[in-house]
Chains A and B, each alone.
Chain A
Amino acid sequence: MTMAEAGGNGADVLLDVANISLSFGGVKAIRGVSFDVQKGEIRAIIGPNGAGKTSMLNCINGFYHPQEGTITYKGRTRKQMRPHEAAAQGIARTFQNVALFKGMSTLDNLMTGRLLKMKGNFFLEALHLGPAKKQELAHREFVEGVIDFLEIQTIRKTPVGRLPYGLQKRVELGRALAAEPELLLLDEPMAGMNVEEKEDMSRFIIDVNEEFGTTIALIEHDMGVVMDISDRVVVLDHGEKIADGTPDEVGKNQDVIDAYLGVSHD
């Protein structure tokens, strides 16, 4: 818990969620959860199924609007985010069940991820002239960089609907990276992957964090991975926060062990 408290008053907090409560009808998905994400760290959100992890990510990027609490991102406090605004402010994300543009090629998916970075004259674009063409080329170059980084050169032109699951996950990460995000939200980036794919993905996540300095908040079920790559871990159970700290601290926490082993709560 000491790390979390230290983070709370640090100057370099990128995202701070405070007392978030979210319910759907009578079902309380999140109850008064607070935590922060510091600039440059890898922050893991873990917990059993139905703990409210994905709901929390959805609140952060504006898909869900929490009934209570505030979200402070880059020093600005809001009651709720909006997806378009979140993206414009540098929050990119991936999804638990891969949400790609399945009819488009890998390259087009990444270019679409970069959409917000593109400005320009509509008619020039249509005619493919002058500055519009130059701009398209510059963005294309950046996207090619991401493709090289993720080692997906060979599937550049393949419609992503045809790719195997592990590669789709990688393309989805690529699309998020194409937006040059400040905060990257990853929802179970390694779900359904084999050991080798998981190792690759872990490496990419660490590289993104170290090379580009991107702050990452991720949900993951694989405890080994979480302990390896994350700087700090917050644990949710039944919509409540039960622990927050370094992987070591969290791993020793009795509440966390109980939650994972399914000890009864009374």
Chain B
Amino acid sequence: MDVLYAVFIAPFVDMATAPIFFAEVIIGGLIAGVMYSLVALGFVLIFKASGVFNFAQGVLALFAGLTLVGLMEFMGQTSTQQLPWYLIALAIIGTAAVMVALAFAIERIVLRPLVNQEQIILFMSTIGLALFLEGFGDVLWGSDVKALDIGIPDASFEWGGILLNQFDLVAAATAAVLVAVLAVFFQKTRVGRALRAVADDHQAALSVGIPLKSIWVIVWSVAGIVAMVAGIMWGAKSGVQFSLSLIALKALPVLILGGFTSVPGAIVGGLIIGVGEKIAEIYWGPLIGGAIENWFAYMLAMVFLLFRPQGLFGEKIIERV
């Protein structure tokens, strides 16, 4: 009985008796979830437009973070000297330009020679890309952990008794804007329709005159810029380091939850995972000695695979026999 009480009753009693703490847990989860969403979003974009599962998405975030830190150091940023905002903005624009250039290079060197190949081959090529970018970033910018300060104060304040962090709020707002823009881009524009067409059928897309090459450059550029935002947000919180490329792993359960082809799915999936693992950690974690946070997402993903393999928002796969 004690066990049942501890599992099914006590956590909810805790939530109800300390609502402000509960709210803080949820907000903490949402903030973490926004980060997961951003990384997952990059996956979804590339998967939608080329059917490629891009293993290098996490490394793209790392590479963008490294590039930004490198550019800011080049402009004179030191641990004591804060750059003026316009130079920071310039560095961010410069990083975005690097990501676009990278997209051109990836299309030319990796994707173009592999047109019409099996998906598994394209997937393998993104593993190669991940390894290369990791090494390349290392050679270019060095391998030590770097602090990234983009001038948004990391200050906490109280609002209605709930402790909030200014940086987290800015990060969440940025992500929200990014997502809204992308949703409109995909649904409403000519280029968006072309992107969806390429995702569905390469040959048919070619035959109606969609230039595959430019579509790939566009989609990898967008994914690179999404990765940059994720890299900046994550890097600013916990430093730009090589473990950043591992956040890609956390995006996997998010994708399974939300569906590989759904932009809103990536967002909602990320938020569910973020909130879910925080709540599980704090209210159920102590029962089995903690550290639920690390595997909770994967377990949730497994349950989803059993009951709803296409995810919450994914397109149901119709196979004709």
Contact = CB atoms under 8 A, between A and B. Distances in A.
In this complex, which of B190, B206, B207, B208 has the most chain A Cβ atoms within 10 angstroms of its Cβ? B207
Interface stretch (A35-43, A120-128, A195-203): A120-128
Contacts of A102: 200-201, 318
Contacts of A101: 196-197, 200-201, 204-205
A100 B201 contact: yes
A115 B194 contact: yes
A104 interface: yes
Contacts of B207: 61, 83, 87, 92-93, 95, 99
Contact of B209 (A87, A120, A125, A128): A87
B196 A103 contact: yes
Contacts, number: 82
Interface stretch (A105-113, A214-222, A223-231): A105-113
B184 interface: yes
A138 interface: no
Interface string B253-292: 0000000010000000000000000000000000000000
Nearest to B207: A93
B203 interface: yes
B208 A115 contact: yes
B191 A122 contact: yes
Interface residues of B, number: 25
A118 interface: yes
Given A126-B189, A161-B318, A115 B196 contact: no
B184 to A, nearest CB: 5
A28 interface: no
A204 interface: no
B211 A111 contact: no
Contact of A108 (B184, B190, B193, B206): B193
Nearest to A118: B190
A126 B203 contact: no
B138 interface: no
The residue among A86, A103, A118, A162 with the most chain B CB atoms within 10 A of its own CB is A103
A88 interface: yes
A87 B209 CA distance: 5
The residue in A88, A93, A126 that gathers the most chain B C-beta atoms within 10 A of its C-beta is A126
B200 A103 contact: yes
A122 B208 CA distance: 20
B185 A126 contact: yes
Contacts of A111: 193
B210 interface: yes
A125 B188 CA distance: 7
B40 to A, nearest CB: 20
Contacts of A126: 184-185, 188-189
Given A63-B203, A84-B209, A112 B189 contact: no
B200 A104 contact: yes
Interface in A149-165: 161-162
B315 interface: yes
Contacts of B203: 63, 95, 99
Nearest to A112: B197
B189 A125 contact: yes
B206 to A, nearest CB: 4
A27 B171 CA distance: 58
Contact of A99 (B191, B193, B196, B201): B201
Contacts of B199: 103
A179 B208 contact: yes
B104 to A, nearest CB: 18
Nearest to B209: A87
Given A93-B207, A102-B318, A115 B190 contact: yes
A122 B66 CA distance: 32
Contacts of A161: 318
B151 to A, nearest CB: 29
23 contacts: A63-B203, A83-B206, A83-B209, A84-B210, A87-B209, A95-B203, A99-B204, A99-B207, A101-B204, A103-B199, A104-B197, A112-B197, A112-B208, A116-B208, A116-B209, A120-B190, A122-B190, A122-B191, A125-B190, A126-B189, A128-B188, A162-B318, A179-B209
Interface of B: 184-185, 188-191, 193-194, 196-197, 199-201, 203-211, 261, 315, 318
A-B interface, 5 closest residue pairs, ranked by CB to CB distance from nearest:
A87-B209, A101-B200, A99-B204, A83-B206, A116-B209
Given A99-B201, A116-B208, A122-B191, 6 more contacts: A83-B206, A84-B209, A88-B209, A108-B193, A116-B209, A125-B188
